[in-house]
């Protein structure tokens, strides 16, 4: 895992907040994935984001699988623009081992 600059981390956290809100707003819509509903996925993203905000940035690697192409985010029909930007940062800095 490479070291990121604080601005990039803050940008990623901001994007993740938007992604969580997007999924939560979709409510009980199915994700066709491990998560039963879009709201469940949004709450998961928010929980990981909050851990990262508290200094546990290593938790962000868990979101790599959510935002990877053809991953959970795609199965939930989330915004492709936000997913691509999030994945680019995650793939560069928080790719799981």
Q: What is the pLDDT of residue 4?
A: 52
> What is the tally of structural domains in the chain?
1
In 26-95, where does DSSP find H-type helix? 38-53, 64-67, 72-75, 80-93
Full pLDDT tens readout for the chain, 97 residues = 444 578 999 999 999 999 999 999 999 988 888 899 999 999 999 999 999 999 999 999 999 999 999 889 988 888 999 999 999 999 999 999 8
Describe the crossing of helices 80-93 and 6-25 by its angle, rounded to 10 degrees.
Answer: 140
The three-state secondary structure class of 70 is coil
Tokens of residue 68, six digits: 């990877």
Domain interval for residue 54: 6-93
Q: 88 lies in a domain?
A: yes
pLDDT of residue 2: 43
Residue 1 lies in a domain: no
């Amino acid at each position: 895992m490479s070291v990121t600059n604080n601005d990039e981390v803050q940008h990623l956290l901001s994007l993740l907040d938007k992604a969580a809100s997007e999924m939560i707003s979709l409510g009980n819509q199915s994700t066709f994935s491990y998560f039963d509903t879009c709201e469940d996925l949004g709450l998961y993203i928010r929980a990981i984001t909050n851990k990262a905000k508290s200094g546990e940035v290593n938790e962000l690697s868990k979101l790599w699988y959510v935002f990877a192409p053809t991953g959970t985010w795609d199965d939930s029909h989330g915004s492709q623009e936000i997913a691509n930007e999030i994945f680019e940062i995650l793939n560069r800095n928080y790719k799981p081992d």
